[in-house]
Chain A
Amino acid sequence: MRMQCLDTKFFTSTSLVPMQLPSRMETHLWYVKPNEVKSEQLLNKYLEFLPKSEKEHVFSMRGDELRKGALLARALVRTTIARYQINQVSPRSLKFRKNIHGKPEVDWQQIEDWHPQQLHFNISHTESLVACGVTTHNPIGIDIEEKERKIKHSISSFAKRYFSQQEVQLLSSISDPEIQRQEFIKLWTLKEAYVKALGRGFSGSPFKTFTIRSAAASKESIHLSESSSFENSDIVVESLEDSTNHTGDWQFALLELAGSHYAAICSRKDCANIGSHPMKIGVWRTIPLVEDEYVSGTNSVIAVGGLM
């Protein structure tokens, strides 16, 4: 469904199309591409949503592109959450706080007489795409990375420094450097998404202490089949520390987004999800206040793994 504001000169928060909250078993993902947002008037409108502290943060970024990206990230999260609570909050009235580990969350207490369903969100951004994931009742973490992202170090030395032994073995078993790089990026986004979903911070869940792999790959087998290690299979996490980590509680999805990015989503499995069904994801490309396009089922959203 394509919604377009007929007169784009007048952007008001009432031009946000109200949305139903995702069900307990669903995840919603909203993304905006900075290069699709060109109107200065629109950017100024987004700026009006931000409190002083967030404005200062935006202006502390060095350079126009970084400032724009920071602004879009805040505009995206505020407008996205406001869509689901359209009679109770506006993008401007939302207040945020951080949990004790630093994970951002909505501060609902600031809104009188309002007891919303447990809305969870997480954002991630790269230079060319900003995304916000939303769930109800279950924590979520997302991470987005450009498919073409290159790192400065060798994949092997980076993995040895930060990843688990199993993951190092898997990556080193890939002989094609380009495929190795792609698998590395996918693994990075999945690990980041998991840590962000847990909400304990980078040091609360050190990367070396858990392995993410395809359910199909066994502990012993370190050889890849011809295709990606995560393609068309469930994605699981294993803790290398003690077993109190309830790693079975977490589900993953890996997508190719907008032809240009890998997006990893991690959320806690809902207790009602007894059959262990894969994540149901609805994806929207948006220009907040201007245009929303549901892109699930199109070329903009290609499932890689975890959605079987």
Chain B
Amino acid sequence: MASVTASSVSFAFLSAPTKQSQGLARGLVSLPVKAKSFGPLKLRNAPLRFRVSCAAKPETVEKVCEIVKKQLALPPTTEVSGESKFAALGADSLDTVEIVMGLEEEFGISVEEESAQTIATVQDAADLIEKLCEKKE
């Protein structure tokens, strides 16, 4: 009963990771997990986003990825991108506030608690940073 398929509920890949299962896991990460698992909470807190016109610059996203990797002590091979969720990378609440602090230091901004609470992904953080940087100017 150790099949590893998209619909399987087996945990076989827990103990015997294969290329296929890693691909499976990664595929699941970038899937509409975002839409499914956030539901009302995200809708309530985050403004609707039109990603095409307001997405942060790639350099900002890259910088956020660096800060997150450093805070969570992730191995350098870990794939972290705009879609990566902090919680999925293993960030707990203490990590998250440290990440916010790191972003404030790096970008010279100040993040309100309300905004901090809405940050779930690297992209969220990058978008917020650019919004706050624009306000500064």
A contacts, CB < 8 Å to B: 40, 43-44, 47-48, 53, 55-57, 59-64, 66-68, 71, 98, 100, 102, 125-127, 145, 149, 151-153, 157-158, 161-162, 188, 192, 201-203, 206
Contact = CB atoms under 8 A, between A and B. Distances in A.
B12 to A, nearest CB: 7
Provide the main secondary structure of the chain B interface.
helix
A40 B12 contact: yes
A188 B113 contact: no
B101 A102 contact: no
A203 B117 contact: yes
Q: Which of A44, A60, A126, A162 has the most CB of B within 10 A?
A: A60
Given A44-B11, A59-B25, A151-B98, 7 more contacts: A40-B15, A43-B11, A98-B41, A102-B41, A125-B92, A127-B90, A153-B101
B98 A64 contact: no
By Cβ-Cβ distance, the 8 closest A-B pairs, closest first, are A203-B113, A203-B114, A60-B33, A206-B113, A203-B117, A102-B41, A43-B11, A59-B28
B101 A158 contact: yes
Nearest to A66: B90
B18 interface: no
Interface in B54-109: 70-71, 78, 84-85, 87-90, 92-94, 97-98, 101-102, 104
Contacts, number: 91
Given A161-B101, A202-B116, A62 B78 contact: yes
Nearest to B24: A59
A152 B113 contact: no
B11 A153 contact: no
A57 B78 contact: no
Contact of A201 (B92, B102, B117): B117
A62 B94 contact: no
Contacts of A161: 101, 104
Contacts of B28: 56, 59-60
Contacts of B41: 98, 102
Interface string B41-62: 1001100000000000000000
Interface residues of B, number: 41
Nearest to A145: B94
Contacts of B102: 152-153
Nearest to A40: B11
Given A44-B10, A153-B98, A203 B33 contact: no
Contact of B88 (A55, A66, A126, A149): A66
Contacts of B40: 98
Contacts of A162: 97, 101
B39 to A, nearest CB: 8
Contacts of A40: 11-12, 14-15
Nearest to A45: B11
B20 to A, nearest CB: 14
Given A48-B9, A56-B36, A62-B89, A152 B14 contact: no
Nearest to B45: A102
Contacts of A47: 9, 11
